[in-house]
């Protein structure tokens, strides 16, 4: 009996995966099933449903509930200068090396959430001598609601925990809802909606940041993503990942680990994918 129930749940889950991909473009199959099921069952309970089948019916009949689902499926935990030691290494070592050999720097903050990482990077670049401040930062995320919030550039006191008093004075102004980054900082960042699992990737980035984004991805999805990042980097470019992450097949893909959480693209290998992020 239990086996039959599980088989029915498995079928319902597979149907749910397929219909969600058709409706939202989110590929739940690329995420680790146990972790994803826990998140989904919480949403199912909150919606007053008893099963994947019933929850799917609710989602398909309620656009607002579907928008809530889409928002909850994207991970939006961030803060300015998250892991400050890593940003210090960026400013002290990584960015100066890149700036000496490439101008202007092309940087991609992938899975940028509400913009804390991208704006932290912009502040660091503005503190560095030219030509670093001429960099262009592309920041992308699947969640349009988070991108709209990022464009405003307003952060709570909790987001500002790692921001020094000097940086607050130089790069922020007090706002009713917290602190807003200055126009000088905001104009360095271009925000764009993009799905890392299905969207096309750009080329010749000198630095890509993808931190604390892939923790729920399957190993297969992670491998494909890191391979695509490799293709997107310029020769000698750097991939910066999260403090809980590790690229298991880094050298096989073509990365050279240079310090904790930083990987350099080694010499080119064969033809690369020619697809680009849309202009």
Exposure string over 57-83, b if 16+ CB within 10 A, otherwise e: eebeeeeebbeebbeebbbbebbbbbe
Please indicate whether residue 277 or residue 37 has the higher confidence score (pLDDT): 37
Q: What's the pLDDT tens digit per position in 204-238?
A: 999 999 998 887 788 899 999 999 999 999 999 99
Least confident span in 127-131, 180-184, 207-211, 274-278? 274-278
Helix axes 33-46, 52-61, angle to 10 degrees: 60
At residue 1 the predicted structure's pLDDT band, cuts being 50, 70 and 90, is: very low
Q: What's the pLDDT tens digit per position in 174-191?
A: 999 899 999 999 999 999
Q: Whole-model pTM?
A: 0.77
In DSSP notation, 203-270 reads: S-EEEEEE-SSSTTB-HHHHHHHHHHHHHHEEEEEEEEE-TT---TTHHHHTEEEEETTEEEE-S--S
Q: What's the pLDDT tens digit per position in 74-86?
A: 655 678 999 899 9
At residue 3 the predicted structure's pLDDT band, cuts being 50, 70 and 90, is: low
At residue 65 the predicted structure's pLDDT band, cuts being 50, 70 and 90, is: confident
pLDDT averaged over every residue in the chain: 87
pLDDT given at position 268: 56
């Amino acid at each position: 009996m239990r086996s039959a129930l599980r088989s029915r749940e498995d079928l319902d889950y597979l149907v749910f995966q397929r219909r969600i991909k058709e409706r939202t473009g989110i590929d739940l199959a690329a995420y680790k099933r146990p972790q994803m099921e826990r998140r989904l069952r919480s949403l199912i309970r909150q919606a007053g449903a008893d099963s994947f089948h019933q929850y799917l019916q609710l989602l398909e009949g309620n656009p607002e509930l579907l928008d809530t689902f889409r928002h909850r499926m994207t991970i939006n935990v961030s803060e300015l200068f998250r892991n400050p030691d890593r940003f210090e290494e960026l400013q002290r070592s990584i960015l100066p090396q890149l700036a000496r050999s490439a101008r202007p720097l092309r940087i991609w903050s992938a899975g940028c959430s509400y913009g804390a990482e991208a704006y932290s990077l912009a502040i660091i670049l503005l503190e560095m001598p030219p030509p670093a401040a001429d960099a262009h930062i592309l920041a992308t995320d699947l969640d349009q609601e988070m991108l709209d919030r990022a464009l405003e550039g307003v952060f709570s006191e909790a987001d500002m925990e790692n921001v020094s008093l000097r940086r607050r004075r130089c790069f922020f102004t007090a706002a009713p809802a917290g602190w807003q980054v200055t126009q000088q900082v905001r104009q360095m960042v271009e925000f764009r909606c993009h799905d890392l699992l299905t969207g096309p990737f750009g080329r010749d980035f000198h630095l890509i940041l993808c931190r604390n984004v892939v923790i729920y991805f399957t190993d297969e999805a992670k491998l494909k993503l890191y391979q695509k990042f490799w293709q997107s980097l310029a020769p000698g470019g750097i991939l910066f990942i999260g403090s809980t992450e590790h690229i298991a097949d880094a050298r096989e893909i073509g990365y050279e680990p240079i310090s904790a959480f930083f990987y350099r693209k080694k010499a080119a290998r064969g033809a690369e994918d020619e697809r680009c992020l849309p202009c």
